[in-house]
Structure 1
């Protein structure tokens, strides 16, 4: 399933003991005309690790016999011996200068012997029996010297223990059931196969990391990535499955079941660990607080990891969090990090959640600390435990605003992280390579809403550094753009969906009584960057409801992060509305000065022209701004609709402004709103957003909003 890996382009320079790879760039897989599919993986490994190159620029020499001196060089490099290392003299007089270091090193460590004290037989062609001895010693196989014969009639008593060890290790078999081909010459292609099959014994490890993020309870896509997960597990000996957060909030499966439906699916799929996304805290402001999240955690058959989230202030999590890095961990608990046992190899996984969460969710008494400090402590903790393969499972964004945190900065500032599996920004990085330090960091993310399964495939060297990497984003969207997935849904996963689907379908099908003549645009890239029809409709409805409570309300603003999708033309159902507005936010009305409104509008357009969840859709107001101007100086014109006419905003005057309680209390970074709320200038009528929106839709004779110039970026007028 995975495309070819990329690999280190320079040769190994590590010493035999406690050494590391020199800094090197990654390169595409070498292409040799004489390498068939049978040898491709093995040749890629050898060339990727710098163990050997081709005999020419276009040929590997697959069918060429290998001589003993060259075989010694391959094995020495595989073991990490360095050409400039200091080794005891072997005493062999027939070893060419290019191979002397390798033969000396292998002789010193008891891996090879010569024909006699003076002769190694450097130019002799290597036989399969000799290969068995070399590889069994080099790989540290369990060689039973009491074995005197094998099933192969051509293997003598002296070679039998080594051939037996190789066969039992799965490194090779005989030419036939009764013939090992003991005296047949070994080609370069065959030697590549032998070394590649033995690499785990040399300390190398392949690992396939499957990952999801920002699925937001879109459960009906899960059977498709369930099939992909099964296929990968069948194809890879070493694999793990991770989730980078935001399984809460979004589709109607969450609205009805508050995470339980998603948890049932995740348990079925066999996740190894998950970190918290910001939306896991969305219910914190509800009457039950974080009860749904605490239930999700405690019922999970996998651990949660986050090194920078502190739940100690919330009694609902008593007994669930252990601020440790655990190899003997309990499912259904929260750890800074855990050590996964992957077929006997230890892989450390720690979690990070964006420090932006208190601004964009309802965290209550849950606290968040600095991600860089937490990551450095995590790496040290794992290294102190002897774990040298380290994954950061993050929900901080690939290259999100550095006011808070992001994965690229994490890789740049914290040494020792091998892989970052991320979420939050809904991008497809598969993968990105950071080379800030001697050993690289691979960063991957897997889009959004269950539309994709991420696969990040790496090879670790014996020192736990990534020396080969690859990845892809596997389309798992049955209605995807530009094309639907070709993957068939998994029947067992579909059975889980079918348990919950009837209730969701019933809710989706319930009509509101309103219909729209046009598509109401709520696409993420549009609604977070410019005025849209749906943004206008939502804010108009908010303003209408606010006027019922306080007739002096003249403006309404809606953070675009709270508008999750579009509505198609035709009848509008409850399901349509709940999918657009899944968070159950309530109406808030603020008393603000014109100057405070200007501050808020500057924050709204601070990321423009890049999309931002803080971008405000507006009603009762028009504004112009210039995205080419410095942040904080972009808004050039603001008008407020008063008495049927638009008049200039007066910064000294007070205005009643409607929004949702999330934004009113400082969500999406609106500190100016939070300050007014704390100053007692905010009210909460207790009206849920989707309910008031449905009331507004039903009140209209025709639902046909247009883009009418409420928000204009004068730097890019054609795009508005």
Structure 2
């Protein structure tokens, strides 16, 4: 009997030690200042870091083998965050227990010194193996190794090469090396040091088009072309995946945007190898609209159980929210109509809000023509009172207004580029003082202030300093004779709306006609 007990004990002991390790990787991406809960059309009070913290902490209570990663673009999007250089984001993420973040392109919206300051507040490493300074130095760690329950996990950070074109203003000669070549360079080293290799990438998933004058690597391309990567946790394209992609034996995941969902990747690891996995995006208080009740009140139901806010994280977030809120909440005008800044609309055609912004630029500068990239318009303005906060949400980047002297021929080079930009891209061009048609990928019937464009004439053109500095691929603007007015674009729009007073209607006639 004693021998049988010993045999059973040995069998049970072996079984316990043979059981795969269970690891959980939580991840988010493209949070863009959305520290606090917010509302969307038919989706009130969603998201918020305090709710995300509740989920992460709940798992840590039952399983210590947890990693928490951010795939980039914490910066730029919400006024309370932008006004404070995203310190609210990084302080709250510090206390939430984030282990590392890949640098996204919007981490370069500000001077490098600001990004380094943000890292100090965060207390966790910002990773980018492929960003180097003008003299070839790495300012940020390429990777870290984390021991998670005895499993060594390498986390290698990479940033989209598009940043070279998307955010060129503050790079000071810095550049982004090819992602595939960079990953291949580090893989042999990481295989010696770690069991599992995670690429934490701000790359984007899918898409064959190579816009903006620079080739870039997407996460699916990286998985297809480079063997030996176990997991790619991605950002940049704001892709909400319904299931994990498995490409060339590499797990690829991305969890949408703005903290609407928290990605959860469960791994079972045996002898240093992943033997099974599960992945899902967890909705953060997302709701289903059910219609209106008999009294006309909107009715909703939660997609999942409602998630309470972690009180400690909420306290930190609330403190930062109050800073400067009083000034942001001052009413500066009113609109009776929706001013349309929806992402899908401003990146594919004209909207009345795009017209208002370009008209405001011309009003302030006296320019003949105004140019605005659709990617710089980040939200709509709903009917009702308009506050400065609303305008900063639409135009969060802190861009100034830049005036350029251009010939008609120079302006045609801009339109030649703009005409080839496919719908859905941030480089899509909104114009003021000008109309034209796009036919077979070329601009035709170009009119400036109601007259055919004169290729030899000189025009006063105003744009935000982002595209004036070559951003979004508008390299033909960079270096032309001009000057920065110092007028912050959001302030220009604010003043213009104050001048308009109550907006009963606004020009919605198409200025850029795409002919089929």
Aligned partner of 1:417 among 229, 232, 242: 229
Offset, 1:467: 4.5
Specify the alignment match of 2:329 in structure 1: 509
Contact (CA 8 Å) 2:369, 2:432: kept in 1 or not? yes
- 1:350 counterpart residue number: 156
Matches within 5 A, 1:90-489: 156-165=1-10, 198=16, 201=18, 204-220=20-36, 221-234=48-61, 236=63, 238-284=65-111, 290-311=112-133, 334-361=140-167, 362-365=169-172, 366-385=174-193, 387-400=194-207, 401-402=209-210, 403-436=215-248, 440-460=249-269, 462=271, 464=273, 466-477=274-285, 486-489=306-309
Match of 1:613 in 2: 426
TM-score, normalised by the number of residues in structure 1? 0.64
Q: 1:499 Cα shift? A: 1.2
Counterpart in 1 of 2:339?
520
Larger radius of gyration: 1
Change in Cα spacing, 1:300 to 1:497, as seen in structure 2 (3 Å) is closer
Work out which of the residue numbers 297, 300, 314 in structure 2 matches 1:494. Answer: 314
Structure in which a larger fraction of residues adopt strand: 2
Following superposition, the deviation at residue 665 of structure 1 comes to 0.7
CA distance in structure 2 between the aligned counterparts of 1:603 and 1:229, rounded to whole angstroms: 45
Q: For each residue in 1:434-472, what CA deviation from the matched residue of structure 2 results, as whole angstroms up to 9, or x when unmatched? A: 433xxx1111111111211111223345463x4433322
| Equivalent runs, 1:652-663 vs 2, <5 Å | 652-663=456-467
Q: What is the alpha-carbon distance in structure 2 between the residues aligned to residue 449 and residue 659 of structure 1?
A: 28
Q: CA RMSD in A?
A: 2.4
> Kindly tell me: are residues 576 and 483 of structure 1, through their superposed partners in 2, closer, same or farther at Cα, counting changes over 3 Å?
farther
Cα gap change, 1:654/1:277 in structure 2, threshold over 3 Å: closer, same or farther? same
Q: Is the 8 A contact 1:219 1:253 kept in 2?
A: no
* CA positional deviation for 1:282: 0.9
1:363/1:479 Cα in 2 relative to 1: closer, same or farther (>3 Å)?
Answer: farther
Distance 1:344 1:462 in 2: 10
| Counterpart Cα distance in 1 of 2:269 and 2:416 | 47
Contact kept in structure 2, 1:430 and 1:445, CA below 8 Å: no
- Structure 2: distance between partners of 1:484 and 1:616: 38
Work out whether 1:546 is the aligned partner of 2:365: yes
What's the CA shift for 1:228? 2.1
1:685 to 471, 479, 485: 485
Cα offset, 1:574, TM superposition: 0.8
Contact in 2 for aligned 1:412/1:434 (Cα 8 Å): no
Deviation at residue 238 of structure 1 after TM alignment: 2.9
Contact 1:560 1:616 in 2 (8 A): yes
Equivalent pair of 2:87/2:121 in contact (CA under 8 Å): no
Aligned 8 A contact 1:450 1:477 in 2: no
Q: Please give the secondary structure, in 2, of the residue aligned with 1:257.
A: coil
CA distance in 1, matches of 2:448, 2:301: 44
Structure 1 segment 557-596 matched on structure 2, within 5 A: 557-596=371-410
Deviation at 1:206, TM superposition (A): 3.5
- In structure 2, what is the equivalent of residue 89 of structure 1? none
**Alpha-carbon distance change, 270 to 571 in structure 1, aligned in 2, over 3 angstroms:** same
1 CA distance for matches of 2:394 and 2:216?
27
Q: How much has 1:524 moved relative to structure 2?
A: 0.8
Q: Are the counterparts in 2 of residues 337 and 378 from structure 1 also a CA contact under 8 Å?
A: no
CA displacement at 1:690 relative to structure 2: 0.9
Residue by residue over 1:231-273, the C-alpha shift from the partner in whole angstroms, topping out at 9 and shown as x without a partner, is 3334555321100111111112222221221111101110111
- Looking at structure 1, the residues matched to 317 and 120 of structure 2 have their Cα atoms a distance apart, in angstroms, of 22
Q: What's 2:515 paired with?
A: 714
C-alpha displacement of 1:311: 4.6
- Structure 2: distance between partners of 1:416 and 1:395: 19
Which position in structure 1 is the counterpart of 2:473? 669
- Structure 1 gap ranges (5+): 1-155, 172-197, 285-289, 323-333, 548-552, 716-720
Relative contact order, CA 8 A, sep 6+: which one is greater? Answer: 2
Q: Contact 1:207/1:458 (CA < 8 Å) preserved in 2?
A: yes
Partner residue, 2:39: none
Report Cα offsets for 1:34-79 as digits up to 9, x if no partner.
Answer: xxxxxxxxxxxxxxxxxxxxxxxxxxxxxxxxxxxxxxxxxxxxxx
In structure 2, distance between residues paired with 1:274 and 1:224: 19
- C-alpha distance in structure 2 between counterparts of 1:590 and 1:614, whole Å: 19
The separation in 2 between residues aligned to 1:259 and 1:280, in whole angstroms, is 10
Counterpart contact for 1:431–1:442, Cα < 8 Å: no
SS in 2 for 1:684: strand
The CA deviation at 1:165 is 4.4
**TM score, norm. by length of structure 2:** 0.88
Shift of 1:411: 0.8
Shift in CA distance, 223/479, structure 1 to aligned 2, threshold 3 Å: farther
